[in-house]
Structure 1
Amino acid sequence: MAMTTSEGGERLERAHQLYLAGRYQEALALYLELLARDPDNPQVHCGLGEVLEALGRPGEALVAFEQALRLDPRYAWAHFGRGGVLQGLRRYDEAAEAYARAVELEPNEAAFHRVLALVHYLRDDLVASLKAYQQVLRLDPDDALAHYGCGLVLDALGRPDEAVAAYHRAIECDPDDPWPYLRLAGLLSRRGMPSAPQYLRKAARLLEKGDPWGQAVLAMLQGRPEEALERMRQAVKRLPESADWLRRDPDLEPLQADERFWLTLWGGRHNA
Protein backbone atom coordinates (compact mmCIF):
# COMPACT_ATOMS: atom_id res chain seq x y z
CA MET A 1 0.00 0.00 0.00
CA ALA A 2 1.36 3.41 -0.94
CA MET A 3 2.08 5.96 1.79
CA THR A 4 0.53 9.39 1.95
CA THR A 5 2.89 12.32 1.41
CA SER A 6 2.60 13.26 5.08
CA GLU A 7 3.29 9.72 6.29
CA GLY A 8 6.25 9.36 3.95
CA GLY A 9 7.75 12.64 5.13
CA GLU A 10 7.39 11.65 8.78
CA ARG A 11 9.02 8.27 8.24
CA LEU A 12 11.81 9.84 6.22
CA GLU A 13 12.48 12.26 9.07
CA ARG A 14 12.39 9.37 11.54
CA ALA A 15 14.99 7.48 9.50
CA HIS A 16 17.21 10.55 9.39
CA GLN A 17 16.94 11.04 13.16
CA LEU A 18 17.90 7.40 13.72
CA TYR A 19 20.95 7.98 11.54
CA LEU A 20 21.92 11.11 13.49
CA ALA A 21 21.55 9.15 16.74
CA GLY A 22 23.98 6.50 15.48
CA ARG A 23 21.27 3.83 15.33
CA TYR A 24 22.38 2.80 11.87
CA GLN A 25 20.79 -0.64 11.59
CA GLU A 26 17.38 0.74 12.55
CA ALA A 27 17.84 3.61 10.10
CA LEU A 28 18.87 1.17 7.38
CA ALA A 29 15.79 -0.99 7.92
CA LEU A 30 13.50 2.03 7.71
CA TYR A 31 15.21 3.44 4.60
CA LEU A 32 14.91 0.06 2.86
CA GLU A 33 11.22 -0.03 3.74
CA LEU A 34 10.79 3.48 2.36
CA LEU A 35 12.73 2.53 -0.77
CA ALA A 36 10.41 -0.41 -1.43
CA ARG A 37 7.40 1.90 -1.24
CA ASP A 38 8.87 4.94 -2.99
CA PRO A 39 11.79 3.86 -5.23
CA ASP A 40 11.90 7.13 -7.17
CA ASN A 41 12.44 9.40 -4.17
CA PRO A 42 15.97 10.88 -4.29
CA GLN A 43 15.84 11.77 -0.58
CA VAL A 44 15.41 8.11 0.30
CA HIS A 45 18.41 7.10 -1.81
CA CYS A 46 20.49 9.92 -0.33
CA GLY A 47 19.59 8.96 3.24
CA LEU A 48 20.32 5.33 2.45
CA GLY A 49 23.73 6.38 1.14
CA GLU A 50 24.51 8.20 4.39
CA VAL A 51 23.66 5.14 6.46
CA LEU A 52 25.57 2.73 4.23
CA GLU A 53 28.65 4.94 4.43
CA ALA A 54 28.36 5.04 8.23
CA LEU A 55 28.13 1.24 8.25
CA GLY A 56 31.40 0.96 6.32
CA ARG A 57 29.83 -0.06 3.01
CA PRO A 58 31.21 2.65 0.68
CA GLY A 59 30.55 0.84 -2.59
CA GLU A 60 26.85 0.51 -1.85
CA ALA A 61 26.74 4.06 -0.48
CA LEU A 62 28.19 5.39 -3.73
CA VAL A 63 25.53 3.53 -5.73
CA ALA A 64 22.81 5.04 -3.53
CA PHE A 65 24.09 8.60 -3.92
CA GLU A 66 24.47 8.18 -7.67
CA GLN A 67 20.93 6.86 -7.94
CA ALA A 68 19.71 9.92 -6.03
CA LEU A 69 21.52 12.09 -8.58
CA ARG A 70 20.04 10.20 -11.52
CA LEU A 71 16.63 11.03 -10.09
CA ASP A 72 17.57 14.63 -9.28
CA PRO A 73 20.87 15.90 -10.74
CA ARG A 74 20.50 19.16 -8.82
CA TYR A 75 20.26 17.53 -5.40
CA ALA A 76 23.15 19.27 -3.63
CA TRP A 77 23.21 17.01 -0.57
CA ALA A 78 23.56 13.95 -2.78
CA HIS A 79 26.61 15.53 -4.45
CA PHE A 80 27.93 16.27 -0.94
CA GLY A 81 27.35 12.67 0.15
CA ARG A 82 28.94 11.28 -3.00
CA GLY A 83 31.95 13.50 -2.38
CA GLY A 84 32.27 12.17 1.15
CA VAL A 85 32.36 8.57 -0.05
CA LEU A 86 34.91 9.39 -2.76
CA GLN A 87 37.04 11.21 -0.19
CA GLY A 88 36.93 8.17 2.09
CA LEU A 89 38.06 6.06 -0.88
CA ARG A 90 40.96 8.54 -1.35
CA ARG A 91 39.68 9.55 -4.79
CA TYR A 92 40.32 13.19 -3.99
CA ASP A 93 40.03 14.73 -7.45
CA GLU A 94 36.60 13.18 -7.95
CA ALA A 95 35.58 14.21 -4.43
CA ALA A 96 36.58 17.79 -5.19
CA GLU A 97 34.41 17.78 -8.30
CA ALA A 98 31.43 16.46 -6.34
CA TYR A 99 31.85 19.03 -3.57
CA ALA A 100 32.29 21.82 -6.11
CA ARG A 101 28.99 20.83 -7.71
CA ALA A 102 27.30 20.97 -4.30
CA VAL A 103 28.77 24.44 -3.75
CA GLU A 104 27.55 25.56 -7.17
CA LEU A 105 24.02 24.44 -6.36
CA GLU A 106 23.90 25.81 -2.80
CA PRO A 107 26.61 28.49 -2.48
CA ASN A 108 25.41 29.63 0.94
CA GLU A 109 25.87 26.25 2.62
CA ALA A 110 29.05 26.63 4.71
CA ALA A 111 29.47 22.86 5.16
CA PHE A 112 29.96 22.42 1.42
CA HIS A 113 32.75 24.98 1.27
CA ARG A 114 34.39 23.45 4.35
CA VAL A 115 34.66 19.96 2.87
CA LEU A 116 35.82 21.42 -0.44
CA ALA A 117 38.60 23.22 1.44
CA LEU A 118 39.57 20.03 3.21
CA VAL A 119 39.77 17.93 0.06
CA HIS A 120 41.78 20.64 -1.74
CA TYR A 121 44.26 20.42 1.14
CA LEU A 122 44.51 16.66 0.58
CA ARG A 123 45.11 17.37 -3.12
CA ASP A 124 47.96 19.72 -2.12
CA ASP A 125 46.12 22.64 -3.73
CA LEU A 126 46.74 25.00 -0.82
CA VAL A 127 45.60 28.18 -2.56
CA ALA A 128 42.22 26.64 -3.44
CA SER A 129 41.93 25.24 0.07
CA LEU A 130 42.53 28.62 1.68
CA LYS A 131 40.04 30.29 -0.67
CA ALA A 132 37.35 27.76 0.28
CA TYR A 133 38.03 28.13 4.02
CA GLN A 134 37.80 31.90 3.67
CA GLN A 135 34.43 31.49 1.98
CA VAL A 136 33.24 29.42 4.95
CA LEU A 137 34.23 32.30 7.24
CA ARG A 138 32.39 34.82 5.10
CA LEU A 139 29.27 32.73 5.65
CA ASP A 140 30.00 31.92 9.30
CA PRO A 141 32.72 34.02 10.97
CA ASP A 142 32.63 31.82 14.09
CA ASP A 143 33.26 28.50 12.36
CA ALA A 144 36.05 27.06 14.52
CA LEU A 145 36.93 24.28 12.08
CA ALA A 146 37.40 26.78 9.26
CA HIS A 147 39.69 28.96 11.38
CA TYR A 148 41.68 25.84 12.27
CA GLY A 149 41.83 24.81 8.62
CA CYS A 150 43.03 28.28 7.65
CA GLY A 151 45.79 27.95 10.23
CA LEU A 152 46.93 24.62 8.85
CA VAL A 153 46.96 25.91 5.26
CA LEU A 154 48.64 29.22 6.13
CA ASP A 155 51.37 27.34 7.98
CA ALA A 156 51.91 25.14 4.93
CA LEU A 157 52.06 28.26 2.73
CA GLY A 158 54.83 29.73 4.88
CA ARG A 159 52.67 32.43 6.48
CA PRO A 160 53.22 31.62 10.18
CA ASP A 161 52.02 34.89 11.71
CA GLU A 162 48.66 34.55 9.97
CA ALA A 163 48.52 30.88 10.96
CA VAL A 164 49.03 31.79 14.62
CA ALA A 165 46.21 34.33 14.40
CA ALA A 166 43.92 31.74 12.78
CA TYR A 167 44.61 29.19 15.51
CA HIS A 168 43.91 31.78 18.21
CA ARG A 169 40.61 32.58 16.52
CA ALA A 170 39.76 28.86 16.40
CA ILE A 171 40.36 28.68 20.15
CA GLU A 172 38.08 31.66 20.73
CA CYS A 173 35.33 29.90 18.81
CA ASP A 174 35.84 26.48 20.42
CA PRO A 175 38.10 26.54 23.51
CA ASP A 176 37.59 22.81 24.17
CA ASP A 177 39.12 21.59 20.90
CA PRO A 178 42.70 20.38 21.58
CA TRP A 179 43.93 20.69 18.00
CA PRO A 180 44.44 24.48 17.75
CA TYR A 181 46.45 24.35 21.00
CA LEU A 182 48.48 21.45 19.62
CA ARG A 183 49.18 23.29 16.37
CA LEU A 184 50.11 26.50 18.19
CA ALA A 185 52.51 24.52 20.37
CA GLY A 186 54.18 23.01 17.31
CA LEU A 187 54.32 26.21 15.28
CA LEU A 188 55.60 28.35 18.16
CA SER A 189 58.13 25.68 19.09
CA ARG A 190 59.48 25.64 15.53
CA ARG A 191 59.86 29.42 15.80
CA GLY A 192 61.62 29.19 19.15
CA MET A 193 58.87 31.03 21.03
CA PRO A 194 58.81 30.60 24.83
CA SER A 195 55.00 30.42 24.97
CA ALA A 196 54.88 27.04 23.16
CA PRO A 197 54.86 24.85 26.33
CA GLN A 198 51.70 26.47 27.73
CA TYR A 199 49.74 25.50 24.63
CA LEU A 200 51.20 22.00 24.72
CA ARG A 201 50.07 21.53 28.32
CA LYS A 202 46.58 22.70 27.43
CA ALA A 203 46.43 20.34 24.44
CA ALA A 204 47.60 17.42 26.59
CA ARG A 205 44.76 18.05 29.06
CA LEU A 206 42.12 18.18 26.34
CA LEU A 207 43.34 15.46 23.99
CA GLU A 208 41.46 12.17 24.14
CA LYS A 209 43.50 9.08 24.96
CA GLY A 210 41.73 7.24 22.17
CA ASP A 211 42.92 9.66 19.47
CA PRO A 212 46.08 8.03 18.10
CA TRP A 213 46.84 10.79 15.59
CA GLY A 214 46.60 13.48 18.24
CA GLN A 215 48.64 11.37 20.63
CA ALA A 216 51.28 10.91 17.90
CA VAL A 217 51.64 14.67 17.49
CA LEU A 218 51.69 15.19 21.25
CA ALA A 219 54.40 12.55 21.71
CA MET A 220 56.48 14.11 18.94
CA LEU A 221 56.23 17.60 20.44
CA GLN A 222 57.15 16.18 23.84
CA GLY A 223 60.30 14.59 22.39
CA ARG A 224 59.16 10.96 22.21
CA PRO A 225 59.55 9.97 18.53
CA GLU A 226 59.32 6.22 19.12
CA GLU A 227 55.94 6.62 20.77
CA ALA A 228 54.89 8.95 17.95
CA LEU A 229 55.65 6.23 15.40
CA GLU A 230 53.67 3.67 17.37
CA ARG A 231 50.71 6.04 17.63
CA MET A 232 50.92 6.59 13.88
CA ARG A 233 50.71 2.85 13.32
CA GLN A 234 47.58 2.74 15.45
CA ALA A 235 46.02 5.62 13.52
CA VAL A 236 46.65 4.04 10.11
CA LYS A 237 45.43 0.64 11.28
CA ARG A 238 42.19 2.20 12.52
CA LEU A 239 41.66 4.45 9.48
CA PRO A 240 43.91 3.78 6.46
CA GLU A 241 43.13 7.13 4.80
CA SER A 242 44.64 8.90 7.82
CA ALA A 243 48.00 8.16 6.15
CA ASP A 244 47.28 11.04 3.77
CA TRP A 245 46.86 13.40 6.71
CA LEU A 246 49.85 12.09 8.64
CA ARG A 247 52.10 12.60 5.62
CA ARG A 248 51.17 16.29 5.58
CA ASP A 249 51.32 16.86 9.33
CA PRO A 250 53.80 19.68 10.01
CA ASP A 251 54.62 18.46 13.51
CA LEU A 252 55.44 14.94 12.31
CA GLU A 253 57.65 16.16 9.48
CA PRO A 254 60.93 15.44 11.38
CA LEU A 255 60.00 11.75 11.32
CA GLN A 256 60.09 11.67 7.52
CA ALA A 257 63.84 11.07 7.66
CA ASP A 258 63.09 7.73 9.34
CA GLU A 259 62.18 4.99 6.85
CA ARG A 260 59.76 3.59 9.41
CA PHE A 261 57.61 6.68 8.88
CA TRP A 262 56.97 5.69 5.27
CA LEU A 263 56.66 1.99 6.06
CA THR A 264 53.97 2.89 8.56
CA LEU A 265 52.04 4.98 6.04
CA TRP A 266 52.18 2.88 2.89
CA GLY A 267 54.80 0.21 2.85
CA GLY A 268 57.73 2.52 2.18
CA ARG A 269 56.33 4.50 -0.78
CA HIS A 270 57.32 8.15 -0.39
CA ASN A 271 54.30 9.66 -2.12
CA ALA A 272 50.56 9.39 -1.86
Structure 2
Amino acid sequence: MTAAVATGVTVWALPSPSTVRSESKAASMPRNGKQADTLLRSALDHMAKQDSLAAARDYRRVLELDPKNKFAWYGLGLVGQQNGNTADAVAAYEKSLETDPSFMSALYSEANLLKSSNPDRAIELLKRAADADPKATSVYLQLGYFLAEQNRKAEAEDAFRHAVAVDHRLLSQVPEQFQESVDR
Protein backbone atom coordinates (compact mmCIF):
# COMPACT_ATOMS: atom_id res chain seq x y z
CA MET A 1 0.00 0.00 0.00
CA THR A 2 1.37 3.44 -0.82
CA ALA A 3 0.27 6.87 0.12
CA ALA A 4 0.78 9.50 -2.54
CA VAL A 5 1.59 12.78 -0.94
CA ALA A 6 -0.35 15.74 -2.28
CA THR A 7 2.15 18.52 -1.82
CA GLY A 8 1.94 20.51 -5.00
CA VAL A 9 5.20 19.00 -6.25
CA THR A 10 5.84 16.03 -8.46
CA VAL A 11 6.36 12.95 -6.35
CA TRP A 12 6.45 9.29 -7.07
CA ALA A 13 4.98 7.71 -3.95
CA LEU A 14 5.81 7.57 -0.31
CA PRO A 15 5.18 4.13 1.15
CA SER A 16 3.16 4.05 4.29
CA PRO A 17 5.14 2.88 7.29
CA SER A 18 3.03 -0.27 7.39
CA THR A 19 4.62 -1.37 4.12
CA VAL A 20 8.09 -0.71 5.46
CA ARG A 21 7.77 -3.30 8.21
CA SER A 22 5.34 -6.16 8.24
CA GLU A 23 2.93 -6.57 11.13
CA SER A 24 4.72 -9.70 12.27
CA LYS A 25 8.00 -7.82 12.60
CA ALA A 26 6.32 -4.92 14.39
CA ALA A 27 5.70 -7.02 17.50
CA SER A 28 9.42 -7.67 17.89
CA MET A 29 10.50 -4.24 16.67
CA PRO A 30 12.66 -2.25 19.08
CA ARG A 31 11.08 0.77 20.73
CA ASN A 32 12.98 3.17 18.45
CA GLY A 33 11.59 1.41 15.37
CA LYS A 34 8.02 1.72 16.62
CA GLN A 35 8.64 5.37 17.48
CA ALA A 36 10.07 6.01 14.03
CA ASP A 37 7.06 4.38 12.37
CA THR A 38 4.67 6.47 14.45
CA LEU A 39 6.58 9.62 13.53
CA LEU A 40 6.55 8.69 9.84
CA ARG A 41 2.77 8.25 9.97
CA SER A 42 2.48 11.60 11.72
CA ALA A 43 4.67 13.26 9.08
CA LEU A 44 2.50 11.82 6.30
CA ASP A 45 -0.59 13.22 8.03
CA HIS A 46 1.05 16.63 8.27
CA MET A 47 2.06 16.53 4.59
CA ALA A 48 -1.51 15.64 3.62
CA LYS A 49 -2.69 18.68 5.61
CA GLN A 50 -0.08 20.89 3.89
CA ASP A 51 1.74 21.46 7.22
CA SER A 52 5.30 21.14 5.98
CA LEU A 53 6.88 22.57 9.14
CA ALA A 54 5.30 19.91 11.34
CA ALA A 55 6.14 17.21 8.78
CA ALA A 56 9.78 18.34 8.66
CA ARG A 57 9.93 18.27 12.46
CA ASP A 58 8.64 14.68 12.49
CA TYR A 59 11.03 13.59 9.73
CA ARG A 60 13.97 15.08 11.66
CA ARG A 61 12.88 13.24 14.79
CA VAL A 62 12.81 9.99 12.81
CA LEU A 63 16.37 10.70 11.67
CA GLU A 64 17.46 11.21 15.28
CA LEU A 65 16.25 7.65 15.93
CA ASP A 66 17.38 6.20 12.62
CA PRO A 67 19.87 8.38 10.68
CA LYS A 68 19.67 6.13 7.61
CA ASN A 69 15.89 6.12 7.27
CA LYS A 70 15.39 6.60 3.53
CA PHE A 71 11.72 7.49 3.96
CA ALA A 72 12.49 10.33 6.37
CA TRP A 73 15.21 11.70 4.08
CA TYR A 74 12.84 11.43 1.15
CA GLY A 75 10.12 13.21 3.12
CA LEU A 76 12.53 16.05 3.93
CA GLY A 77 13.27 16.24 0.21
CA LEU A 78 9.56 16.64 -0.50
CA VAL A 79 9.28 19.35 2.14
CA GLY A 80 12.27 21.20 0.68
CA GLN A 81 10.86 20.90 -2.83
CA GLN A 82 7.41 22.03 -1.71
CA ASN A 83 8.92 25.08 -0.02
CA GLY A 84 11.10 25.97 -3.00
CA ASN A 85 14.36 25.02 -1.24
CA THR A 86 15.94 23.16 -4.13
CA ALA A 87 19.34 22.75 -2.48
CA ASP A 88 17.80 21.28 0.68
CA ALA A 89 15.56 19.00 -1.38
CA VAL A 90 18.44 17.69 -3.49
CA ALA A 91 20.59 17.13 -0.39
CA ALA A 92 17.80 15.17 1.30
CA TYR A 93 17.07 13.08 -1.80
CA GLU A 94 20.79 12.31 -2.08
CA LYS A 95 20.89 11.17 1.58
CA SER A 96 17.94 8.90 0.83
CA LEU A 97 19.81 7.50 -2.17
CA GLU A 98 22.95 6.93 -0.09
CA THR A 99 20.87 4.55 2.01
CA ASP A 100 19.16 2.90 -0.99
CA PRO A 101 20.69 3.76 -4.39
CA SER A 102 17.69 2.32 -6.24
CA PHE A 103 14.97 4.01 -4.18
CA MET A 104 12.54 4.77 -6.99
CA SER A 105 10.70 7.63 -5.26
CA ALA A 106 13.88 9.59 -4.57
CA LEU A 107 15.33 8.94 -8.03
CA TYR A 108 12.15 10.09 -9.76
CA SER A 109 11.50 13.11 -7.54
CA GLU A 110 15.07 14.39 -7.71
CA ALA A 111 15.09 13.93 -11.49
CA ASN A 112 11.95 16.01 -11.85
CA LEU A 113 13.38 18.66 -9.55
CA LEU A 114 16.58 18.92 -11.61
CA LYS A 115 14.94 18.74 -15.04
CA SER A 116 15.53 22.43 -15.84
CA SER A 117 18.65 23.22 -13.84
CA ASN A 118 20.66 20.05 -14.44
CA PRO A 119 19.10 17.98 -17.23
CA ASP A 120 22.08 15.62 -17.54
CA ARG A 121 21.82 14.70 -13.86
CA ALA A 122 18.03 14.31 -14.22
CA ILE A 123 18.52 11.91 -17.12
CA GLU A 124 21.16 9.97 -15.16
CA LEU A 125 18.73 9.58 -12.24
CA LEU A 126 15.91 8.41 -14.50
CA LYS A 127 18.24 5.89 -16.14
CA ARG A 128 19.07 4.54 -12.68
CA ALA A 129 15.35 4.33 -11.91
CA ALA A 130 14.75 2.50 -15.20
CA ASP A 131 17.54 0.06 -14.41
CA ALA A 132 16.02 -0.54 -10.97
CA ASP A 133 12.62 -1.42 -12.45
CA PRO A 134 12.52 -2.26 -16.16
CA LYS A 135 8.71 -2.45 -16.03
CA ALA A 136 8.28 1.10 -14.69
CA THR A 137 6.71 2.51 -17.83
CA SER A 138 6.17 5.97 -16.36
CA VAL A 139 9.91 6.23 -15.75
CA TYR A 140 10.65 5.26 -19.35
CA LEU A 141 8.11 7.76 -20.67
CA GLN A 142 9.57 10.52 -18.50
CA LEU A 143 13.08 9.56 -19.58
CA GLY A 144 11.97 9.71 -23.20
CA TYR A 145 10.49 13.18 -22.72
CA PHE A 146 13.67 14.46 -21.01
CA LEU A 147 15.90 12.99 -23.71
CA ALA A 148 13.74 14.41 -26.50
CA GLU A 149 13.94 17.88 -24.91
CA GLN A 150 17.74 17.53 -24.97
CA ASN A 151 17.64 16.58 -28.67
CA ARG A 152 18.91 13.10 -27.85
CA LYS A 153 16.39 11.61 -30.26
CA ALA A 154 17.82 8.09 -30.64
CA GLU A 155 17.95 7.61 -26.88
CA ALA A 156 14.47 9.09 -26.50
CA GLU A 157 13.14 6.71 -29.12
CA ASP A 158 14.67 3.77 -27.24
CA ALA A 159 13.06 4.88 -23.98
CA PHE A 160 9.65 5.34 -25.62
CA ARG A 161 10.01 2.00 -27.41
CA HIS A 162 10.72 0.27 -24.11
CA ALA A 163 7.66 1.82 -22.43
CA VAL A 164 5.39 0.83 -25.32
CA ALA A 165 6.86 -2.69 -25.43
CA VAL A 166 5.83 -3.14 -21.79
CA ASP A 167 2.40 -1.58 -22.31
CA HIS A 168 1.26 -0.86 -25.88
CA ARG A 169 -1.59 1.35 -24.59
CA LEU A 170 1.05 4.00 -23.85
CA LEU A 171 1.66 4.67 -27.53
CA SER A 172 -0.83 7.55 -27.40
CA GLN A 173 1.36 9.23 -24.75
CA VAL A 174 4.46 9.13 -26.93
CA PRO A 175 5.12 12.40 -28.80
CA GLU A 176 3.80 12.23 -32.34
CA GLN A 177 7.24 12.53 -33.93
CA PHE A 178 8.25 9.22 -32.29
CA GLN A 179 5.05 7.23 -32.58
CA GLU A 180 5.63 5.63 -35.94
CA SER A 181 9.18 4.46 -35.19
CA VAL A 182 8.22 3.28 -31.70
CA ASP A 183 5.22 1.31 -32.98
CA ARG A 184 7.27 -0.81 -35.39
How many residue pairs are counted as aligned between the two chains?
157
- Aligned residue among 172, 177, 184 for 2:175: 184
- Structure 1 residues 54 and 174, CA gap change in structure 2 (3 angstroms): farther
- Aligned residue among 146, 149, 173 for 2:139: 146
RMSD between aligned residues: 3.1
| Inter-partner Cα distance in structure 2 for 1:74 and 1:181 | 41
Kept in 2: contact 1:46–1:68 (CA 8 A): yes
1:52 aligns with 2:43: no
Find the counterpart in structure 1 of residue 166 from structure 2.
173
| Inter-partner Cα distance in structure 2 for 1:21 and 1:168 | 28
TM-score by length of 1: 0.50
Offset of residue 143 of structure 1: 1.2
Find the counterpart in structure 1 of residue 157 from structure 2.
164
Offset of residue 172 of structure 1: 3.2
Find the counterpart in structure 2 of residue 136 from structure 1.
129
Larger gyration radius, structure 1 or structure 2 = 1
TM-score by length of 2: 0.71
Question: What is the SS of the residue equivalent to 1:41?
Answer: helix
- Structure 1 residues 50 and 117, CA gap change in structure 2 (3 angstroms): same
Find the counterpart in structure 2 of residue 95 from structure 1.
89
- Unaligned segments of structure 2, at least 5 residues: 6-15, 17-30
Letter in 2 for 1:107: P
- Structure 1 residues 127 and 73, CA gap change in structure 2 (3 angstroms): same
Offset of residue 97 of structure 1: 0.9
Asked which structure has the greater RCO (Cα within 8 Å, sep 6+), the reply is: 2
- Unaligned segments of structure 1, at least 5 residues: 1-16, 28-37, 200-272
| Inter-partner Cα distance in structure 2 for 1:136 and 1:121 | 15
Letter in 1 for 2:48: A
Cα deviation 1:32-76 (Å, max 9, x = unaligned):
xxxxxx898122112211121122222221221122112222111
| Inter-partner Cα distance in structure 1 for 2:163 and 2:65 | 39
1:64 aligns with 2:55: no
